[in-house]
Amino acid sequence: MKPTAARAERLAAAEAESALLAAELAAARRDMDGAESPAAAADAASAARSRADVLRRLSGLCATSGLRLGSARRLADGAAAGAAVGGLLEQMRWRAAERWRLEMCGSFDGMVRWLDGLSAAGLQALPTGLEMEPGPDAAQPAVWTLDVWI
């Protein structure tokens, strides 16, 4: 057998083996869809503990800033980050981040102190939207709604 014919035969055998391995890998990936590895489960548990700690610390910021936390709830559409937010979360490697909505009561100065405290605390929390509804009269505190990725 000529050297070029032998080389072509080996190349054909390698290509066939490569195609077989690619098919086996694709089948294994299909079988694994939906299966959660122990490492992924541990990461999810760690993220939940971290998120609970961040929420506790955000609540503490309310107390030190003169705000009152009315509610904190996870938004059902948490996975629907816009392109800009999604890109930023990916860049920061916050793959397990969830979108939460915090509702607080207090003054404008209190909200400024809260945001300054959030910045200084270095928490894994990314505020993405803030709304203010004034109280019925000047004596009533404003209601603040903040969307934050945790």
Encode pLDDT of 119-131 as tens digits. Answer: 999 888 889 889 9
User: What confidence tens digit (pLDDT) does each residue in 11-66 have?
Assistant: 777 777 777 777 777 776 666 665 555 555 555 667 677 889 999 999 999 999 99
Q: What is the pLDDT of residue 55?
A: 93
Tell me: the pLDDT tens digits for 65-113? 999 999 999 988 655 667 777 777 788 787 778 889 999 999 999 999 9
Beta strands, E only, the chain: 68-74, 99-106, 126-133, 142-149
How far, in whole angstroms, is CA 117 from its chain's centroid? 21
Distance CA 65, CA 25 (A): 55
Average pLDDT over residues 3-12: 74
Beta strands 99-106 and 142-149 are: antiparallel
What pTM was estimated for this model as a whole?
A: 0.64
Q: State mean pLDDT over 3-8.
A: 72
Kind and range of the H or E element at 71?
A: strand 68-74
